[in-house]
Structures are given as C-alpha cells and as structure tokens.
Amino acid sequence: MASRLRLKRLSAALVCFALAQCGPRVVRPDAAVADSTADSLVIIDQGPRPDRDHDGLCDDTETDVTRTDPDDVDTDGDGFVDGWEYSYGHSPLSATSPPSERLLQWSERPGEPFEHVYTVSYRGNGQGVFGAFWESGAGVDGLRGEDLGLRVEALAAVPPSNAPDLAAERFVSVIGATRLSFRILGEWPQREPLRCRRAYVLYPSAYAEETGLIYLRSFFLVVAASDERPVMDAASGDASDDANSNANPDVNPDASRSGPWPYQSDGLCLPDPARPCQ
C-alpha cells in the first residue's frame, strides 16, 4: 500500500515537472509572477518598471542588458536618446553608432530645405525605372513623410542617351548600363519647433518595371533643434534669447508642466512618458 502511494506521488511529480506547473514561475519580468498550486493560480502584479531618466529604456534594461546609465538619457553623448539607439539596432555606448556616413542633416526651421541625392546602377532593356522612399516615423513628434513634405524626383542619367526621358520620379525607358540619379526634396513644414534633436529612419529606393526592387538603403534623417525662438529661463521663468546657442533648460519629467509632450532634456526629445519602457 505504501509503495503504491509513493508511486502515485512520484507519477504526479513527474507530470507536474513535465508541464512546468510546480512552484513559482515568471511569466514576464515586467508583468507578473505566477504561483501555481493544485487548486488555484495566483497572479502577483509587480507594477510598472521604473525608467528614471525617461529615455525609453527601463532601469533594469539599462543595468542588465544595454549597460547604459539609467540616470543619463544619452549615455554616449552622440545626441541620440538611448532608447532610440537601442530600438534601431545601434549602440547607445558608442558615439560613432550610428555611423556618420548614414546621417542626413535637416533643421526644424520653417521652410528649411532638404535634399538627398542617391545613384543607382542598372542595365535596362527598355524598362521604366522610378524612385521612391519611405520612413519609419522614428521621430518622437509623430510626423510622417507626407507631413514633412518630402518628395522624390528623377534627376539625371549617365550616359544621358540611355535614359533621355524623365517624368516626375521616373525614367521612362532605360537601355544599357546606366547610372541613374534620384533626389529626395523637402522643406520643413510651418509648425511650432520642438527645440530638441530627433531622427527619422529614411529608406531611399528604386524600382524597375517587371524587375521590382533594385536599390534600397537606410539613412537617419537627423532634425536639429531650431534656435530661432526664445526659450523660458529655467530659473526666472522669463523668456531669454538664445539665438546663438543650442542650449535648452532641462525639464523635469516628474514635475507638472503646461507644455505638451514631447518634452526636452539637454536638447533631446524624449519619448512619451506615458508609454511603457522597454
């Protein structure tokens, strides 16, 4: 009888082990700890994870994963928020990541022009080739390509005789080995400047009729903070003209503020503090 009881207990233990239902079990480190018993399932809510510097990375992610400073929004001092770099596969510990050759500069001054020229090598048999682009909306201000007023146009062919006809963003017909140039143009829209640095991921591309995608690259469209408008002096609350400086007063994310998100710290646009950190 005793041996049969021991056999039942051993069988139950093996089943419990196989189903991974015995003892405390972490479901998600940022969500809950599950404690399963024979009769009930108890979920213990751990609450939200802290993000002291509000850079989009939780404090435990910074200490255990990225090894960044949980009290510094830009650990490597390259002008990109730690959470932004981590989200797009770059090192928040290296000032050369992302690399300078992949950075495209713009300014948030209303009407500020932007131009980026890219070249595609293609051997055509009479196909049309057209340029295109898209962007990921990596900036914290919610702008998209159509909001930025960006457009692409066919620029030139070398030799010109291989693609003499251009129509908007398209080379009508390409014959032989040809270098095709496109450019992306834009002017910064008329809107209130945020006075902080942010970036978008821009993907220039080219397509050939019947062939499909023939060119794709990724760049980071970096928007510099506009310094044309006076800012509120942090100490006195008076407006001061810092037209010759990009310095911005730090804004305490935990303090009540009348201005809208996104808010600034050291001239950087930080993520929405209401969004959970990663």
Average pLDDT of the residues in 139-158:
81
Distances (CA, A) of 266 to 70, 85, 206, 270: 15, 17, 38, 10
Distances (CA, A) of 15 to 6, 26, 171: 14, 20, 67
What's the confidence (pLDDT) of residue 272?
Answer: 79
- What are 4-42's pLDDT values in tens digits? 444 444 444 433 333 333 333 333 444 444 444 445 555
Between 215 and 247, whose confidence is greater? Answer: 215
Contacting residues for 14 by C-beta, under 8 A, at least 6 apart:
none
Q: How far apart are CA 41 and CA 37, in angstroms?
A: 6
What's the confidence (pLDDT) of residue 24?
Answer: 35
Q: Is the pLDDT of residue 54 over 70?
A: yes
Q: Is the pLDDT of residue 255 over 60?
A: no
Between 226 and 131, whose confidence is greater? Answer: 131
What's the confidence (pLDDT) of residue 145?
Answer: 61
Between 160 and 244, whose confidence is greater? Answer: 160
Between 135 and 229, whose confidence is greater? Answer: 135
Query: Of 79, 76, 25, 86, whose CA–CA distance to 51 is shortest?
Result: 86
H/E stretch holding 142 reads none
Q: Is the pLDDT of residue 257 over 50?
A: no
What's the confidence (pLDDT) of residue 260?
Answer: 57
Exposure string for 63-77, b = 16+ CB within 10 A, e = fewer: eeebebbbebbbbbe
Distance of CA 190 to the CA centre of its chain: 23
The pTM (predicted TM-score) of the whole model is 0.69
Between 140 and 34, whose confidence is greater? Answer: 140
Residue range(s) occupied by CATH 2.60.40 in the chain = 104-224
Do 127 and 101 form a contact (C-beta atoms < 8 A)? no
- What are 164-212's pLDDT values in tens digits? 999 999 999 999 999 999 999 999 888 888 888 888 889 999 999 989 9
DSSP secondary-structure letter at 226? Answer: P
Distances (CA, A) of 267 to 86, 134, 238, 239, 249: 19, 27, 19, 17, 8
Region of poorest pLDDT, from 135-139, 159-163, 168-172, 269-273: 135-139
- What are 61-111's pLDDT values in tens digits? 999 999 999 999 999 999 999 998 998 889 999 999 999 999 999 998 889
Pick the CATH number of 104-224 from 2.60.40, 2.40.360, 1.20.120, 2.40.10: 2.60.40
User: Which amino acid is residue 232, in one-letter code?
Assistant: M
Q: How far apart are CA 166 and CA 109, in angstroms?
A: 32
What's the confidence (pLDDT) of residue 165?
Answer: 95
Q: How far apart are CA 188 and CA 109, in angstroms?
A: 6
What's the confidence (pLDDT) of residue 97?
Answer: 92
